[in-house]
Amino acid sequence: MIRNVDKLVDALSAAGLPDADIAGLRPRLTTWRTQLDARRQCLWPKCRRPPIGSHVISQTFLEVIADGGKGLKTPKNPETFTAYPRASRIGSEAPSKASTFPGFCGTHDHKEFAGFENARRLRHLDDYRRQLIRTTTIEWQNRSDLIDLLNFLRKRDSGVSSFFATPGFDARLARTQEHYRQLEQLRLSLHADLSLPSTESGSVAIHTASHESVNGVALSYADFFEAQDIDDGGSVPFPLAIAVVPQRSDPEAATDEPTTRLILGSTDRQALDLYVARHLSSPLRAHDSVMAWLGKGCFSWWINPGKWEAMSSQEQDEIKRGLTRF
Ligand SMILES: [Zn+2]
């Protein structure tokens, strides 16, 4: 997500943009960023109200993996990882900022998600759809912001249009636009499926399972994955939305041990089935897959501090490397 202009300038500098150009670009980027925020509207279909800070993963679920009210979350700046572990609060004292993005208006945010937030558990197919709507919407918005930025940078009046008029830049823009379109389809299909009877499978295939092997982690991620390893013959990337949601077990069960629900959704049912069979067929594979998602560049995640400490240094390094992807 394009959170602040300073980070953006750092990335452009690292990409080779000369300092003299950056000096002229910075105030224009600040204006662009302000206007982008001012244009935002609720992302529930057909709503035009201004958005509030919507949760990606509910506070009630994040509290399950907090330790003394604290947990680790994705640092806004990868550099802060050098001082890791740096505890960021996800407890009750600062719940509102734990996992928010400018997604939905207050009315839709409360009306559409209060069901599982109050129940503190995801139980029904529609609950999974609603969680995946949150997951997909933030990633779709990130793509939308990036396209807006790339187009802004190419405009003649940015003062640096020649730097960005390259085949590599065009390819990046085209790829981002294609991913944006596919996430748009996934997002709108999830909304459409909500109108179906709650037991009927819709146009988005959903896989869900509980795995204690991944306790201590929450994440929200949507990206493009290979249904099979490339070695098997170069399969086509397919869109996949993933939510890893910590929960208490059924209150009526004998124990109240935490467990973790994995929810995967895709418009490509066959690819999803292949992916699940290959990567989630056992608790060990599920654990390894969650670690791989964290390392692949997943931007929205939270980890129990003790879980982080228990990870191998190799696993920690993989996650840190994933953070540096722009
Ligand atoms: Zn709304």
User: Crossing angle of helices 283-296/313-323, nearest 10°?
Assistant: 40
Please tell me the distance between residue 107's alpha carbon and the centre of ligand 1 in angstroms: 6
User: Crossing angle of helices 269-279/283-296, nearest 10°?
Assistant: 110
pLDDT band at 67 (very low <50, low <70, confident <90, very high): confident
Classify 273 as helix, strand or coil: helix
Classify 239 as helix, strand or coil: strand
Residue with tokens 């929960």: 247
68 vs 225 pLDDT, higher one: 225
The number of residues in the chain equals 326
Residue 310's CB is within 10 A of a number of other CB atoms, namely 10
217 vs 81 pLDDT, higher one: 217
Determine the distance from the C-alpha atom of residue 63 to the mean position of all C-alpha atoms in its chain, rounded to a whole number: 19
Over 90: is that where the pLDDT of 138 sits?
Answer: yes
Please tell me the distance between residue 46's alpha carbon and the centre of ligand 1 in angstroms: 8
Please tell me the distance between residue 38's alpha carbon and the centre of ligand 1 in angstroms: 16
Over 50: is that where the pLDDT of 91 sits?
Answer: no
Please tell me the distance between residue 133's alpha carbon and the centre of ligand 1 in angstroms: 14
Give the pLDDT score at 177.
95
Give the pLDDT score at 8.
80
Give the C-alpha distances (Å, rounded to integers) separating 71 from 53, 118, 244, 311.
20, 21, 15, 15
pLDDT band at 140 (very low <50, low <70, confident <90, very high): very high
pLDDT band at 93 (very low <50, low <70, confident <90, very high): very low
Please tell me the distance between residue 114's alpha carbon and the centre of ligand 1 in angstroms: 14
Euclidean distance between CA atoms 113 and 116, whole angstroms:
6
Give the pLDDT score at 3.
64
Please tell me the distance between residue 42's alpha carbon and the centre of ligand 1 in angstroms: 5
Which whole number is the average pLDDT over 279-308? 88
The angle at the Cα of 74, spanning 278 to 306, to the nearest 5 degrees, equals 80
Over 90: is that where the pLDDT of 205 sits?
Answer: yes
Over 70: is that where the pLDDT of 158 sits?
Answer: no
Please tell me the distance between residue 106's alpha carbon and the centre of ligand 1 in angstroms: 7
Please tell me the distance between residue 58's alpha carbon and the centre of ligand 1 in angstroms: 18
pLDDT band at 95 (very low <50, low <70, confident <90, very high): very low
251 vs 74 pLDDT, higher one: 74
Average pLDDT, the chain: 84
Please tell me the distance between residue 112's alpha carbon and the centre of ligand 1 in angstroms: 10
Which whole number is the average pLDDT over 23-40? 90
Please tell me the distance between residue 188's alpha carbon and the centre of ligand 1 in angstroms: 15
Give the pLDDT score at 87.
52
Over 70: is that where the pLDDT of 161 sits?
Answer: no
Euclidean distance between CA atoms 107 and 157, whole angstroms:
39
User: In sequence order, what are the residues at sequence separation of 6 or more whose Cβ sits closer than 8 angstroms to the Cβ of residue 166?
Assistant: none
